[in-house]
Amino acid sequence: MRKMLLCLLALAACFAITPTASAHVLITDTTKAQGAILHIIPDDDPIAGQKATLYFDAQNQVVQKDSTVAVAIKDAGGQQDEVEARIDGSLVTADYTFPAQGAYELTFTIKTDGKTYAFTQSQRVSRGVAASALDKPTYPWAEMLLLASGISLVLLGVMAFNRRKGIAKQSTF
């Protein structure tokens, strides 16, 4: 009985200390000829406002020692950030802090042996810092239109005031 209890306790301890599983995303380049695995720490679900590490592992020796890799991250508003990438064998790593929750487009562009491979992946950031309502883009054309409308209204009022006698004369008929 004591051995059975000890075995059950050991089995429970094994399940309790196992590391959590992490998902990896398989992506292909724009020509669908090459593949790569993308992994983002933490948990393939980055937290806005905290540093995330992007691991990009290209297959078929696409990344070599003399390759150049550019990492671009574009948010839903169209603002794009270029991120410094490090190459270690076939593994490309980059650190990035997603500024706010939302959808982002990650693009890894690899130039090697005169060929260019572009890998694009959409990433949703749903944890961490939420975007503020005050962060909405401004529309300068709308501000100019509002200013022009206000000036036009004032000019119309001045003209009406200056021609008030003529207006009164016409309205009596």
User: Could you read off the pLDDT of 2-16 as tens digits, one per residue?
Assistant: 665 555 555 555 555
Instruction: Using the predicted structure, report yes or no on whether residue 165 has a pLDDT greater than 80.
Output: yes
Residues 87 and 143 in one domain: no
| 65 located within any domain | yes
Residues 150 and 99 in one domain: no
Q: Where are the alpha helices (H) located in 22-83, listed in sequence order? A: none
Residues 54 and 113 in one domain: yes
Query: How far apart (Å, rounded) are the C-alpha atoms in residues 94 and 152?
Result: 54
Q: What are phi and psi of 138, to 5 degrees?
A: -90, 160
Report pLDDT for 22.
Answer: 42
| 9 located within any domain | no
Residues 51 and 88 in one domain: yes
Residues 119 and 166 in one domain: no
Number of domains making up the chain: 2
The helix (H) or strand (E) run that includes residue 123 is: strand 115-125
Report pLDDT for 34.
Answer: 79
Residues 104 and 159 in one domain: no
To 10 degrees, the CA torsion angle through 141, 104, 83, 91?
A: -160
Contact 96, 41 (CB under 8 A): no
Tell me which residue range forms the domain holding 63: 22-134
Average pLDDT over residues 100-120: 84
